[in-house]
Amino acid sequence: MQLFNKTTEIDFLGARKVAMAISLVLIVISLASLVARGLNLGIDFTGGTLIEVGYSQPAELVEVRKTLAGAGFDDAVVQH
């Protein structure tokens, strides 16, 4: 019983130019995305406090931000 064909030949070096082109395109796209969007570092890297709050009704994010700014938390990040 033979599981693998011993004569299988895959031309990896013949496809190196195509693989290199694909890799370069993906690297350029990644770098462009990093420049355009910037880093979105989590609390692990930025420090601070994470507070999760739940509401019975959907809250207006603008109102929550205004309330926090009025309480002295101008740099608070409010997410949905």
Provide the residue ranges of all domains of the chain, joining segments of one domain with +.
13-70
Asked if residues 66 and 73 have their Cβ atoms less than 8 Å apart, the reply is no
Distance CA 34, CA 26 (A): 12
Question: How confident is the model over 5-46, as pLDDT tens digits?
Answer: 778 788 889 999 999 999 999 999 999 999 999 888 888 888
Residue 1 confidence (pLDDT): 67
- Residue with the bigger pLDDT between 21 and 53: it is 21
Kindly report the pTM of this predicted structure. 0.53
Q: Determine the Cα–Cα distance for residues 31 and 23; give it in Å rounded to an integer.
A: 12
Structural tokens at position 5: 């064909």
